[in-house]
Structure 1
Amino acid sequence: MALWQIGLLLLAAVWLLQAVGTWLQMRHYREVMGTIHSRWTDGYMGVGNARASLGRGVILILVVAPDDTIRDLFVMEGRSVFAKFKRLDQFEGRDVVSLLADEAFIGMRGRKQALEQALQQIENAKARKSEAAAALRDQPA
């Protein structure tokens, strides 16, 4: 077998491995999201990400109660499709503002950007909910 054929076979094998890894990672993501949806019936959820061209990427899932206390915080960080979500229990029950001020959390590359995106999604969800409530109040009986 020629050298270029071996190279082509290796390239196809690596591509197939990446496709399987991506499928497994997406399945893990869906499982985590399903767990969150079944666990909490009120409050708000935001998801943020920070992509890195060569460094590690970050996906953050933040669940807050209606009073802005943190219920769940999951972070996935890594350079490959083998990264998994880690639940950060030490932040549960804390205020969202304290998380933004926590240098140990924010100091890690990409986390601040992902957290800001998640918080923006939460603010948008709150605004939509208050607009819907206002529209219901304004309807004639």
Structure 2
Amino acid sequence: MAIWQWGLLLLAGVWALQALGVWLQMQHYSGVFKGITEKYSDGFVGAGNYRGRFKRGTIALVVVTPDLIVRRLLLMSGRTVFTKFKRHEEFEGMTLDRLRSDPAILGEEHPGVTEAVTRAIEQIDRARAEPRRQPGLSGISAAGA
């Protein structure tokens, strides 16, 4: 085989490893998110992200009670697909308004975390503003009607 064919083969192998890593990370994210939504069926969950081009990327999950008390704050921050969520217990019991007023509460040296938490809080605010849908067939229109 010529050297360029080996190069293409190596490139395909690296691409396949990257695809596998991304799939594993998405499985981890989906599992954590599903676990949170099953455990806390009342209240609200917000997910925010920060994409760092050359910095660390961050995903924040904020879970609040119906009266807007933080139940969980989970952060996944890193450069690789091997990064996992870390629970920050020091924020549990804090009001959402306090977290909203100071999203850089984790420190100014982590601007990606601040941005991700801010986006998660915005998502919670949007979810609270939407009217709750009633279960059933109310959203389905009859054929020919």
TM-score range, shorter-chain basis?
A: 0.7 to 0.9
Residue type of the alignment partner of 2:106: F
- Equivalent residue of 1:61, what SS? strand
TM, length-normalised to structure 1: 0.84
2:21 equivalent to 1:36: no
- Equivalent residue of 1:52, what SS? coil
- Where structure 1 has 5 or more consecutive residues not aligned to the other structure, the ranges are 134-141
Residue type of the alignment partner of 1:65: T
- Where structure 2 has 5 or more consecutive residues not aligned to the other structure, the ranges are 135-145
Partners of 2:123 and 2:99 in 1: CA distance:
16
Q: CA deviation at 1:102?
A: 6.5
Identical aligned pairs, as a percentage? 45
2:29 equivalent to 1:19: no
Q: CA deviation at 1:98?
A: 3.2
TM, length-normalised to structure 2: 0.82
Q: Deviations over 1:7-62 (max 9, x none)?
A: 11111111010011011001101110111011112111111001011111001110
Point out the structure with the larger helix share: 1
Partners of 2:15 and 2:107 in 1: CA distance:
34
Partners of 1:63 and 1:38 in 2: CA distance:
12
Partners of 1:62 and 1:86 in 2: CA distance:
12
How many pairs does the alignment contain? 132
